Structure 1
Amino acid sequence: MPVVSLKEIVDRAFAERYGVPAINIVNDLTLEAVLAGAVDARSPVIVQTSVKTVKSIGSDVLFAMWTAMTKDIDVPVTLHLDHCPERAVITECLDRGWNSVLFDASTLTVEENQRQTVEVVAEARRHGAHVEGEIEAIKGVEDGIGADTEPARQSLDTAIRFITETGVDVFAPSIGNAHGVYSATPELDFERVTDLVQATNIPIALHGGSGMTTQQFGDLIARGCAKVNISTALKIEFMKANLAFLKQAEAGDKWDPPSLFRDVRSHIVSLTTGLADTFGSAGKAW
């Protein structure tokens, strides 16, 4: 199965009401492990890169890694640029071959956000790529983007107008979700998702998934959240697995990097397969 478009993945998930893990990777090890987990689960997967990751690794190297690791993959996968407020980075990634982008202009007025999103959609279409849009910031800072204040909620009519007039392929609403670690189970506006889906019939992206309950995931996915973003959970798993292994290495005075890599990889593979099970995408590869 070659790399496919974001729209092909989310439209199937939306129609069948399962969620696809959209996982932010941070390096080559996590990229390979997420892909391996998707293969093990026979699940489609959306691999996401933050602006910070693109800049730290470099788009050329990052895309070369992606191309090499997906050359013979036999489950549907796609490469997505997460929360990007920088038009130059969007252009860079589309030019390199990213399959989709989230243009995050949520700090702008809705009118200016909409105007620029129309331009981004047109640019993406020239590359055969797709666009996720949003008009409300998601609370919390993720890889240097965002704020810890509660975002202002736009009216339902404003959101519907934005979706229909920009032609975005996926929409990410603010429903009480947040990036980072929740201090308590979040109070979510489930009806907002239902209202948007009924009005536009567009797949919804659920941000701030790390820390939501299985019941909340199930409810939101059934309402039309076809793309479920996971970033913080991977970072925590990656760093805690490294820390635990290195503590054991220090205690035993055994320093073998390949053993570290294998151990950390197993944790990320398990995280990915677990997410596929939770979201209902396991066994949905075509």
Structure 2
Amino acid sequence: MSVVPLTEIVSDAFTKRYGVPAINVFNDLTMEAVLAAAVEKSSPLIVQTSVKTVKSIGSEVLYTMWTSMTAGIEVPVTLHLDHCPDREVITECLRVGWNSVLFDASTLPVEENMRQTVEVVAEARGFGASVEGEIEAITGVEDGVGSDSAAAQQDLEVTLDFLRTTGVDVFAPAIGNAHGSYKQAPELDFQRVSDIVAAFPVPIALHGGSGLSDEQFHDLISRGCAKVNISTALKEKFMKSSLAFLESAAERQKWDPPSLFRSVRDDVVEMSGSLMTLFGSAGRAR
């Protein structure tokens, strides 16, 4: 158990058709809370950090938090760098100790994306780390990365050529999903996941998971979405929980920061644990 390669976590999930939450944390409280939920639910977990979080807190500080909080943990967990178009940040995180990275070169022509992804995969292998790749931008801006313009989907043969050439461990296709909060129910291309997996059995990363229905999650996971990204939902939970507590504190005129932290932590643990149950990863660490 404890800290393991990303491939170990997603390979089992892909084979057995359950999903593992890949949750974007942004401070010590959220990191500790999602790890606590994984222990409570006996679930594997992918802890993600955005480039924005890495730059605001610092890679060394973040990794020190990670090693301290995962020391002796009894469930499989891994640390992943989400959507990173900056090769220097990728190198920095790999050097410090991240277990995997998503090299986001989706704004580049496919050929250049492929060329650079091959280089990132080679670099990551030197650190014993994994790589997630993508060839289309996922709609929506998340932590300063991305675009609100929807990218056109590439043909299946282009996707397969990318997978064969780069050797990425996880693939993130655009299927009508989007980062942020959905303004209306998304129309998802479920069949595209099935087509990719049938032609090239690689674990699929589902981005834009916040706001999908239980039925959509179950369908996509059954088709091979082994890594299910959650970011917006955690941010909203953190902020709304903090707001509710502070409004109550103002009414009572009682100002106790540790009580605020405990209350928000409990809400984050509950939300994270419910996702583990929903995605089918709860109990898989036993």
Structures share fold, TM-score greater than 0.5: yes
Residue 192 of structure 1 aligns to which amino acid in structure 2?
R
Please say if 1:246 is aligned against 2:246: yes
Instruction: Tell me, in whole angstroms, the C-alpha distance in 1 between the residues paired with 2:87 and 2:260.
Output: 38
Offset from partner CA, 1:84-103 (integer Å, 9 cap, x none): 00000000000000000000
1:137 aligns with 2:137: yes
CA distance in 2, matches of 1:5, 1:229: 17
Give 1:184 deviation, angstroms.
Answer: 1.4
Match of 2:229, SS state, is strand
DSSP 3-state at the match of 1:79 = strand
Give the match for residue 210 of structure 2: 210
CA distance in 2, matches of 1:189, 1:150: 14
Shift in Å at residue 281 of structure 1? 0.3
| Cα distance per residue 1:40-71 (max 9 Å; x no partner) | 11100000000000000000000000000000
- Superposition deviation, residue 2 in structure 1: 2.2
Give yes or no for the alignment of 1:46 onto 2:41: no
Offset at 1:106?
A: 0.3
Any idea what the Cα deviations from partners look like across 1:84-140, whole Å, max 9, x if unmatched?
000000000000000000000000000000000000000000000000000000000
Q: Which residue of 2 aligns with 1:6?
A: 6
Q: Which residue of 1 aligns with 2:25?
A: 25
Q: Which residue of the partner structure matches residue 120 of structure 1?
A: 120
SS at match of 1:268: helix
Shift of 1:152: 1.5
Amino acid at match of 1:163: L
Residue type at the aligned position of 1:272: S
Secondary structure of the corresponding residue to residue 46 of structure 1: strand
Aligned to 1:183, what secondary structure does the other structure show?
A: coil
- In the alignment, which residue of structure 1 is the partner of 2:274? 274
RMSD (Å) for aligned C-alpha atoms: 0.5
Cross-structure match for 1:200 = 200
Looking at structure 2, the residues matched to 177 and 145 of structure 1 have their Cα atoms a distance apart, in angstroms, of 16
- Cα distance in 2, alignment partners of residues 263 and 151 from structure 1: 40
- What do the CA deviations read for 1:206-261 (whole angstroms, capped 9, x no partner)? 00000000000000000000000000000000000001001111111100000000
Amino acid in the other structure paired with 1:262 = R
Match of 1:261 in 2: 261
Q: TM-score, normalised by structure 2?
A: 0.99
**Which residue of 2 is the match for residue 59 of structure 1?**
59
Which string of whole-angstrom CA distances, capped at 9 and with x for unpartnered residues, describes residues 170-199 of structure 1?
000000000000011111000000000011
Q: For 1:38 and 1:261, locate their aligned partners in 2 and report how far apart those are by CA, in whole Å.
A: 19
Equivalent residue pairs, number: 286
Alignment of 1:99 with 2:94, yes or no, is no
Q: Write out aligned runs for 1:152-231 (5 A).
A: 152-231=152-231
Are residue 233 (structure 1) and residue 226 (structure 2) matched?
no
The SS at the match of 2:82 is: strand
Distance 1:92 1:251 in 2: 46
Runs of 4+ residues over 2 Å off in structure 1 = none
CA distance in 1 between counterparts of 2:154 and 2:71 reads 42
Question: What is the match of residue 108 of structure 2?
Answer: 108
Name the structure 1 match of 2:34: 34
Q: Displacement, 1:153?
A: 1.2
Residue of structure 2 in register with 1:283 after alignment: 283
Q: Percent identity?
A: 69
Residues of 2 paired with 1:108 and 1:161: CA distance? Answer: 16
Q: Distance in 1 between matches of 2:120 and 2:199?
A: 23
1-side partners of 2:65 and 2:87: how far apart? 23
Structure 1: segments with no counterpart, 5+ residues? none
C-alpha distance in 1 between matches for 2:157 and 2:217: 25
TM-score normalised to structure 1 length: 0.99
1:89 aligns with 2:52: no
